[in-house]
């Protein structure tokens, strides 16, 4: 028994002796001990401030570059600001530095020795806005050139128009979201590029029975009631003019668009018959400018404005810009003008009408109506600040809003003499607010210059075929006030606008 006690005492004395020697050796050592990493980056042999500086440098490089998403020929960049990313690097570095320093002499020495055999990695605490990541993914999917187009329908006069969808891809959103989160946290990766995971898919079959059930209704007259003043909107009666089987026969043909005849039973009294009393108050207005000398653009804007002018949106009803304006075709009177498509400036039938949808979008925001669907342009626009635009594209990207008020609203739109103006009229309510919209650029995406070889030019000659512009990220906020007192300030959107490259043709 005595021998055992003596042996234990000797072991303890030896451990203390070794600890004292080890402590003496490490006296004055203000550097992080071996085999310690922070977010996969070795910080061994670095002072705390030095490690903090190096890791912040890596983080800022990722923040400046953003995360590039690519799929085929399409690519875009989402910024850390857009995703609301932040990283608590200081706490992680402090934890790394404290290893071997935060306990007593024995535990400190034990932890130092242990690191020689078992590495230790300290995870940085990251925070990000998951809704912003989801919104960024939705925005990317809307801009993919080969995204699947679902079947759609709208009513045009006495016809039900059904547009056939197109095969394409859908983003595997959960997988992409996880890849983005992993890329945010990966300090060892200097590529910052993610291949967008997609799945080839086809639109479903057109369900004419479901569509018929959704559109069939009886006519309803509009009327006013007083004390308090209320407007009850009219509704046309709608039903198919042919049988379901006959409609299915039409749909069995291989066409891009199908027309099904309807029976429209007009209400005897419409909201317009009620006069100005139904829309006495201006709820929101927006004006933008354009070059009136551009004849084709001027034509397209005027034609689109005529189509939405006078539109009535009843309470609970959703307004679709695409369905109201209709498909932009030569037959419909639209002409070719400059537009954004697949990351380039191109001539497109109906080009320019995004200015009207953008002007309408701002009137909707200022009227405090509910935005259902809105996407920003691929590049910045010249007629509104970043974050205030709403792009549209027939068959894929729409601008929609819902009348979330008690009463019908009326859209008054004009495009003439270089001015686009959209007013929204209705009845003021006791719970209305004064609305202000503020947008700000949060970062700049530098413009790229692309040189293209053109042997038809004189040797040494250069021609600029496309003048570029910096891209940016932006945030847009809506402030509600009552009697001069701010009630709320909410984020409307975070948007990314890619840089428009300068393209120079040259013959070296």
Are the CB atoms for 70 and 193 separated by under 8 Å?
A: yes
Average pLDDT in the chain: 87
Percent of the chain with pLDDT over 90: 50
- DSSP class of residue 271 equals G
95 contacts 111 by C-beta, under 8 angstroms? no
Are the C-beta atoms of residues 31 and 45 closer than 8 Å to each other? yes
How far apart CA 108 and CA 171 sit, in angstroms, is 50
**Number of other CB atoms surrounding residue 176 within 10 Å:** 22
pTM above 0.75, yes or no: no
Instruction: Check residues 365 and 314 and name the one with the higher pLDDT.
Output: 365
293: helix, strand or coil: coil
Of 314, 302, 309, 228, which is closest to residue 271 (Cα–Cα)? Answer: 314
| CA 372, 378, 384, 388 torsion-angle sign | positive
Lowest mean pLDDT among 102-106, 192-196, 488-492: 102-106
Q: Rounded to the nearest 5 degrees, what angle is found at the Cα of 44, between the Cα atoms of 40 and 50?
A: 95
Average pLDDT score over residue span 248-268 = 92
Whole-number pLDDT of residue 15: 54
Residue 376's pLDDT is what? Answer: 93
Residue 19, pLDDT above cutoff 60? no
Task: Dig out the tokens for 342 from the structure.
Answer: 């697949």
Asked which of 77-81, 169-173, 178-182, 432-436 is least confident by mean pLDDT, the reply is 77-81
Q: Cβ contacts of residue 437 below 8 Å, gap of 6+?
A: 362, 365, 366, 388, 476, 477, 478, 479, 492
**Residue carrying the six token digits 């007083």:** 226
End-to-end CA distance of the chain: 95
Please determine, for residue 479, whether its predicted confidence score (pLDDT) is greater than 70. Answer: yes
Partners of residue 373 on adjacent β-strands: 400
Measured distance CA(142)–CA(340) in Å, rounded: 14
């Amino acid at each position: 028994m005595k021998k055992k006690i003596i042996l234990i005492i000797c072991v303890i004395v030896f451990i203390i002796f070794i600890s004292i020697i080890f402590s003496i050796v490490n006296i004055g050592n203000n550097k992080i001990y071996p085999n310690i990493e922070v977010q996969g980056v070795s910080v061994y042999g670095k002072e705390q401030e030095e490690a903090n500086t190096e890791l912040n440098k890596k983080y800022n490089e990722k923040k400046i570059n953003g995360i590039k998403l690519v799929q085929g020929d399409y690519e875009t960049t989402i910024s850390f600001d857009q995703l609301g990313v932040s990283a608590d690097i200081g706490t992680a570095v402090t934890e790394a530095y404290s290893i071997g320093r935060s306990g007593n002499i024995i535990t400190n020495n034990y932890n130092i020795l242990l690191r020689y055999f078992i590495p230790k990695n300290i995870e940085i605490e990251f925070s990000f806005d998951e809704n912003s990541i989801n919104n960024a993914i939705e925005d990317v999917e809307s801009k993919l050139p080969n995204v699947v187009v679902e079947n759609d329908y709208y009513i045009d006069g006495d016809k039900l128009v059904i547009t056939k969808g197109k095969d394409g891809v859908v983003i595997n959103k959960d997988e992409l979201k996880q890849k983005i989160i992993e890329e945010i946290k990966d300090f060892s990766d200097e590529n910052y590029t993610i291949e967008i995971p997609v799945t080839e898919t086809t639109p479903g079959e057109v369900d004419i029975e479901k569509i018929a059930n959704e559109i069939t209704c009886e006519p309803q007259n509009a009327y006013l009631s007083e004390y308090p003043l209320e407007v009850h909107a009219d509704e046309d009666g709608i039903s198919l003019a042919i049988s379901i089987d006959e409609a299915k026969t039409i749909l069995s043909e291989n066409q891009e668009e199908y027309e099904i005849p309807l029976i429209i039973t007009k209400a005897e009294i419409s909201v317009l018959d009620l006069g100005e009393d139904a829309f006495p108050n201006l709820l929101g207005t927006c004006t933008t400018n354009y070059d009136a000398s551009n004849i084709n653009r001027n034509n397209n804007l005027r034609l689109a404005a005529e189509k939405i002018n006078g539109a009535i949106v009843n309470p609970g009803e959703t307004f679709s810009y695409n369905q109201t304006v209709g498909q932009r075709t030569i037959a419909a009177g639209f002409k070719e003008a400059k537009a954004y498509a697949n990351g380039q400036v191109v001539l497109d039938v109906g080009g320019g009408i995004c200015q009207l949808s953008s002007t309408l979008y701002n009137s909707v925001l200022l009227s405090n109506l509910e935005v259902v669907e809105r996407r920003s342009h691929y590049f910045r626009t010249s007629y509104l600040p970043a974050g205030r635009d709403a792009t549209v594209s027939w068959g894929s990207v729409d601008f929609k809003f819902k009348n979330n008020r008690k009463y019908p609203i009326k859209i008054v739109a004009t495009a003439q003499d270089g001015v686009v103006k959209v007013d929204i009229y209705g009845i003021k309510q006791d719970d209305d607010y004064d609305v202000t919209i503020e947008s700000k650029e949060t970062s700049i995406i530098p413009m790229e210059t692309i040189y293209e070889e053109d042997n038809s030019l004189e040797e040494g000659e250069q021609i600029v075929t496309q003048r570029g512009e910096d891209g940016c990220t932006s945030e847009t906020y809506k402030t509600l006030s009552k009697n001069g007192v701010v009630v709320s300030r909410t984020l409307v959107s975070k948007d990314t606008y890619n840089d428009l490259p300068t393209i120079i043709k040259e013959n070296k």
